[in-house]
C-alpha cells in the first residue's frame, strides 16, 4: 500500500494515475497518524514552498513527518517535496522548511535563462545508486523556478545534480529517504521506471560513498573525467485542436489559417484520446489540447472534453495542457463561475497546465487602462497552481504598415513584405479563435502576461497556421526577446528542418505542430533526429 501525502494544494492526479498504472493502490494521508502508519510515503509538493509548509503545519503533519523521516522509512519527495526537506526557501523567506537537509533553496537567476526551468533535462548521478541504474542517459521532466545548489553542507545527501546555468540538486538520498526535483510521473517511460523502483521497494539503502566534493588537489588526481554537463532539451509538442463536428462528435480538427471547414464540413482528423496516446508513444514531449470553440460554449458543460482529459491522463505520462474557455462565465440559470472554477475542473481532470487565449487579451486591455488588481484569471490561477501552470495562447495576425509612423503599435522591419510591398508590420492579437482583432500587439501581450504571473507563452500565428511553410521566425524572435518565461513556437511546421530553424534562429524553448503529425506526414522521431543531428538537445525515446 502506497500512502500519498496529498495535502490538497493542487493537482496530483497524474501521480495517482502513474501509481495506479504501475499496479499499486494509493491511500491518502488524512490524519497525522496515517503518516506513521504508512509503508511507503510519497510527498508530491505542489504550489509554492510557503503554502506547502503552511498546509503541513495546519494539518499537524510536520512532527509525524519528521519522525517518519528520521526513522529512515521509505519516502519519496517530488519537486516541492524535495525543497521542503531543506531549511527554507527564498520563495517564502519567512517560512521554515523541515530542516532535514542543511541549506536553503533559491531562485534561478533569470538574466540569461528562461525561468521556470521547464522541460526535459538530464541527471548527473554522483554516486552508485540503484535508483538511476540504466536511466542515466534519460531525461526527466522538470518544472520549477527555485532550486537547491550542491555544496559541502548537503554533500551527504546529494544523489544527482543537473545543469541549468550552474548545477543544482536534482535528487537526494539518505538511506530510504529519497527526493527528486523532477516529476517522475510526467517523465514518460524513464519516469515510470524510476517510480516503480521506489514503489517496489527494491532500492537498497545507498552504499557508503566517496564524498563528491573534492578539494582542488584531490580533484586533479582523480582518474575519472568529469561527467559532461546536462542540457535542457528543446521540447517538441503535439497539439490537438478539438471541437464537436456537425454530428455532435468530439473530433480533432485542423485549420488553415484557423478555418477548420473543408467543403462545408469540420475536418475530422481523429479521436482525441487515441491521437494523444499515439503521440505519447511516438515521443511527443508534451500534449496540448485546445478546445477551440469553448469561447462560445460553457466548458464545464462540455463534459466530453473533461472526459477526454481524464482518459488521456490515465495513459499519457508527459505534461498535458488544456486551453479554451478559461474566463469568468454566467450560465443561462444565472450561476456565475470564475475562470479559476473552470481551471480547477481542468486540473482535477488531469491537466498539468491550462492555457488562456481570449481572456488574456481582454486582461491586457484592462491592465493598460486601469492597472493590475489581482483579479485576472492569470493572477488567480497562478496564485493557486503556480506560474508554471498558466500558459498564454496568443493568436496573432500580421498587420502590414508602410512605416513605424503609421501605427502606435511597435513594428518590426520584415523580410517578408506585405501585399503592397509594405516592409513593416506588427502582430495584432485576436480573440474568439481569430475572429476579432484587438488593439494589442503580441509583444505587449506576452510582457504584460509575464508580469501578471503567466509561466509560458504558446505563440501561434494565424498567417502560418496549417501552411507548412515554416514558423514565423520574426514573430517568435520578437516575443522571445521580450520575456524571460519559456516561449513555444507554433504554426506552420512542414518539415523537420523547420524545427531546427526555429530553435537555431529564435532561441524558442519548444516548438509545436499539429497538421504534419495528424496527417502522418512527418513522424515525431524524424523531427527529433533532425534536431539531434544539428546538435540541438532533444529527448529521444
Ligand atoms: O480564447 O481562451 O477560449 O482559447 C481558445 C483556444 O483555441 C486558443 O488557444 C486558440 O489558439 C485556439 N483556437 C481557436 N480557434 C482555433 C482555430 O483553429 N479555428 N486553434 C484555434 C488554434 C492553432 C494552433 C495549431 C498550430 C499548429 N490552433 O494550436 O495547432 O497553428 O498548426 P500547424 O502545425 O498545423 O500549422 P480561448
Report pLDDT digits (tens) over 163-188. Answer: 999 999 999 999 999 999 999 999 99
User: What are the tens digits of pLDDT across the range 463-509?
Assistant: 999 999 999 999 999 999 999 999 999 999 999 999 999 999 999 99
Question: Ligand 1 centre and the CA of 255: distance in Å?
Answer: 8
Q: What is the pLDDT of residue 112?
A: 81
Question: Ligand 1 centre and the CA of 450: distance in Å?
Answer: 20
Confidence of residue 225 (pLDDT cuts 50, 70, 90): low
Whether 492 lines ligand 1, by a CB cut-off of 6 Å, is yes
Q: What is the pLDDT of residue 14?
A: 87
Whether the per-residue pLDDT at 294 is higher than 70: the answer is yes
User: What are the tens digits of pLDDT across the range 434-468?
Assistant: 999 999 999 999 999 999 999 999 999 999 999 99
Q: What is the pLDDT of residue 302?
A: 61
Q: Whose CA is nearest to atom 15 of ligand 1?
A: 433
The atom number, within ligand 1, closest to the CA of 288 reads 29
Mutate to test the pocket of ligand 1, among 238, 255, 270 (most ligand atoms within 8 A of CB): 255
Whether 433 lines ligand 1, by a CB cut-off of 6 Å, is yes
Residues 279 and 287: beta-carbon distance below 8 Å:
yes
Query: What distance in Å separates the CA atoms of residue 373 and residue 367, rounded to the nearest whole number?
Result: 8
Residues catalogued as catalytic:
79, 183, 185, 241, 395
Question: Which residue carries 497518524 as its cell?
Answer: 33
Mutate to test the pocket of ligand 1, among 357, 438, 493, 496 (most ligand atoms within 8 A of CB): 357
Whether the per-residue pLDDT at 325 is higher than 80: the answer is yes
Q: How many degrees, rounded to 5, is the angle at CA 448 between CA 446 and CA 453? A: 95
Identify the DSSP state of 520.
T
Whether 258 lines ligand 1, by a CB cut-off of 6 Å, is yes
Return the minimum-mean-pLDDT range out of 7-21, 262-276, 394-408: 7-21
Whether the per-residue pLDDT at 510 is higher than 90: the answer is yes
Q: What is the pLDDT of residue 210?
A: 36
Q: What is the pLDDT of residue 214?
A: 38
Question: Ligand 1 centre and the CA of 270: distance in Å?
Answer: 16
Q: Whose CA is nearest to atom 12 of ligand 1?
A: 292
Confidence of residue 11 (pLDDT cuts 50, 70, 90): low
Confidence of residue 35 (pLDDT cuts 50, 70, 90): very high
Question: Ligand 1 centre and the CA of 248: distance in Å?
Answer: 20
CB contact set of 512 (below 8 Å; sequence gap of 6+): 236, 237, 238, 239, 288, 458, 488, 489, 490, 493
pTM of the predicted model, to two decimals? 0.94
The atom number, within ligand 1, closest to the CA of 295 reads 3
For 537, counting Cβ atoms within 10 Å of its Cβ (0-12 exposed, 13-18 middle, 19+ buried), the class is middle
**Pick from 63, 76, 87: nearest CA to 175:** 76
Whether 400 lines ligand 1, by a CB cut-off of 6 Å, is no
Whether the per-residue pLDDT at 523 is higher than 90: the answer is yes
Whether the per-residue pLDDT at 298 is higher than 80: the answer is no
Question: Ligand 1 centre and the CA of 393: distance in Å?
Answer: 8
Q: What is the pLDDT of residue 130?
A: 85
Query: What distance in Å separates the CA atoms of residue 247 and residue 265, rounded to the nearest whole number?
Result: 10
Whether 288 lines ligand 1, by a CB cut-off of 6 Å, is no
Q: What is the pLDDT of residue 219?
A: 44
Whether the per-residue pLDDT at 47 is higher than 90: the answer is no
Whole-number average pLDDT of the chain: 92
The atom number, within ligand 1, closest to the CA of 513 reads 34
Mutate to test the pocket of ligand 1, among 242, 289, 290 (most ligand atoms within 8 A of CB): 290
Q: What is the pLDDT of residue 351?
A: 93
Identify the DSSP state of 266.
E
3-state secondary structure of 498: helix
Return the minimum-mean-pLDDT range out of 63-72, 126-135, 199-208, 517-526: 199-208
Question: Ligand 1 centre and the CA of 241: distance in Å?
Answer: 6
Half-sphere exposure of 420 (CA within 13 A, CB side): 6
Confidence of residue 213 (pLDDT cuts 50, 70, 90): very low
CB contact set of 458 (below 8 Å; sequence gap of 6+): 288, 321, 323, 355, 391, 392, 393, 394, 488, 490, 512
Whether the per-residue pLDDT at 85 is higher than 60: the answer is yes
Question: Ligand 1 centre and the CA of 489: distance in Å?
Answer: 13
For the chain, give the number of residues: 541
Q: What is the pLDDT of residue 42?
A: 96
Whether 284 lines ligand 1, by a CB cut-off of 6 Å, is no
Query: What distance in Å separates the CA atoms of residue 143 and residue 14, rounded to the nearest whole number?
Result: 14
Read off the C-alpha cell for 394. Answer: 496568443
Q: What is the pLDDT of residue 221?
A: 52
The atom number, within ligand 1, closest to the CA of 493 reads 34
User: What are the tens digits of pLDDT across the range 137-153?
Assistant: 999 999 999 999 999 99
Q: Helices 272-282 and 524-533 meet at what angle, rounded to 10?
A: 30
Whether the per-residue pLDDT at 288 is higher than 50: the answer is yes
Percent helix, strand and coil across the chain, each to the nearest 5: 30, 25, 40
Distance of CA 124 to the CA centre of its chain: 22
Residues 2-27, mean pLDDT to the nearest whole number = 86
Q: What is the pLDDT of residue 209?
A: 38
% residues pLDDT > 70 (the chain): 94
3-state secondary structure of 449: helix
Amino acid at each position: 500500500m502506497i500512502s500519498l501525502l496529498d495535502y490538497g494544494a493542487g493537482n496530483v492526479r497524474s501521480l495517482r494515475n502513474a501509481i495506479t498504472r504501475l499496479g499499486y493502490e494509493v491511500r491518502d494521508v488524512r490524519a497525522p497518524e496515517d503518516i506513521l502508519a504508512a509503508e511507503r510515503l510519497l510527498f508530491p509538493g505542489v504550489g509554492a514552498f510557503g503554502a506547502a509548509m503552511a498546509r503541513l503545519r495546519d494539518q499537524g503533519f510536520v512532527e509525524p513527518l519528521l519522525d517518519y523521516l528520521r526513522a529512515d522509512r521509505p519516502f519519496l519527495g517530488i519537486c516541492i517535496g524535495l525543497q521542503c526537506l531543506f531549511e527554507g526557501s527564498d520563495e517564502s523567506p519567512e517560512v521554515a522548511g523541515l530542516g532535514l537537509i542543511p541549506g536553503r533553496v533559491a531562485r534561478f537567476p533569470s538574466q540569461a535563462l528562461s525561468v521556470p526551468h521547464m522541460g526535459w533535462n538530464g541527471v548527473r548521478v554522483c554516486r552508485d545508486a540503484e535508483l538511476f541504474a540504466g536511466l542515466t542517459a534519460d531525461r526527466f521532466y522538470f518544472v520549477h523556478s527555485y532550486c537547491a545548489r550542491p555544496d559541502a553542507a548537503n554533500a551527504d545527501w546529494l544523489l544527482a545534480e543537473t545543469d541549468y546555468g550552474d548545477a543544482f540538486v536534482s535528487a537526494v538520498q539518505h538511506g530510504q529517504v529519497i527526493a527528486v526535483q523532477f516529476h517522475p510521473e510526467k517523465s514518460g517511460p524513464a519516469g515510470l521506471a524510476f517510480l516503480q523502483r521506489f514503489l517496489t521497494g527494491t532500492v537498497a539503502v545507498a552504499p557508503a560513498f566517496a564524498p563528491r566534493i573534492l578539494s582542488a588537489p584531490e580533484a586533479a588526481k582523480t582518474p575519472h573525467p568529469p561527467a559532461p554537463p546536462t542540457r535542457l532539451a528543446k521540447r517538441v509538442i503535439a497539439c490537438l485542436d478539438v471541437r464537436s463536428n456537425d454530428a455532435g462528435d468530439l473530433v480533432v480538427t485542423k485549420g488553415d489559417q484557423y478555418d477548420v471547414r473543408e467543403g462545408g464540413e469540420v475536418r475530422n482528423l481523429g479521436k482525441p484520446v487515441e491521437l494523444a496516446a499515439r503521440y505519447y508513444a511516438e515521443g511527443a514531449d508534451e500534449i496540448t489540447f485546445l478546445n477551440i470553440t469553448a469561447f462560445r460554449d460553457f466548458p464545464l458543460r462540455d463534459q466530453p472534453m473533461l472526459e477526454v482529459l481524464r482518459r488521456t491522463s490515465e495513459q499519457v505520462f508527459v505534461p498535458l495542457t488544456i486551453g479554451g474557455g478559461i474566463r469568468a462565465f454566467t450560465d443561462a440559470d444565472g450561476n456565475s463561475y470564475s475562470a479559476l472554477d473552470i481551471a480547477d475542473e481542468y486540473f482535477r481532470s488531469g491537466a498539468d497546465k491550462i492555457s488562456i487565449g481570449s481572456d488574456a487579451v481582454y486582461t491586457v486591455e484592462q491592465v493598460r487602462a486601469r492597472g493590475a488588481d489581482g483579479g485576472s484569471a492569470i493572477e488567480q490561477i497562478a496564485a493557486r497552481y503556480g506560474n508554471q501552470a498558466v500558459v498564454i495562447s496568443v493568436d496573432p495576425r500580421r498587420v502590414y504598415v508602410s512605416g513605424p509612423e503609421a501605427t502606435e503599435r511597435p513594428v518590426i522591419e520584415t523580410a517578408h513584405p506585405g501585399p503592397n510591398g509594405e516592409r513593416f508590420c506588427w502582430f495584432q492579437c485576436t480573440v474568439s479563435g481569430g475572429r476579432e482583432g484587438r488593439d494589442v500587439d503580441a509583444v505587449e501581450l506576452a510582457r504584460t502576461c509575464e508580469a501578471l504571473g503567466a509561466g509560458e507563452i504558446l505563440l501561434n500565428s494565424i498567417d502560418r497556421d496549417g501552411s507548412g511553410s515554416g514558423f514565423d521566425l520574426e514573430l517568435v524572435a520578437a516575443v522571445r526577446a521580450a520575456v524571460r518565461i519559456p516561449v513555444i513556437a507554433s504554426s506552420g511546421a512542414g518539415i523537420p528542418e523547420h524545427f531546427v530553424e526555429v530553435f537555431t534562429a529564435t532561441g524558442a524553448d519548444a516548438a509545436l505542430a499539429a497538421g504534419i503529425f495528424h496527417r502522418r506526414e512527418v513522424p515525431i522521431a524524424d523531427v527529433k533526429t533532425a534536431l539531434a543531428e544539428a546538435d540541438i538537445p532533444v529527448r529521444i525515446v
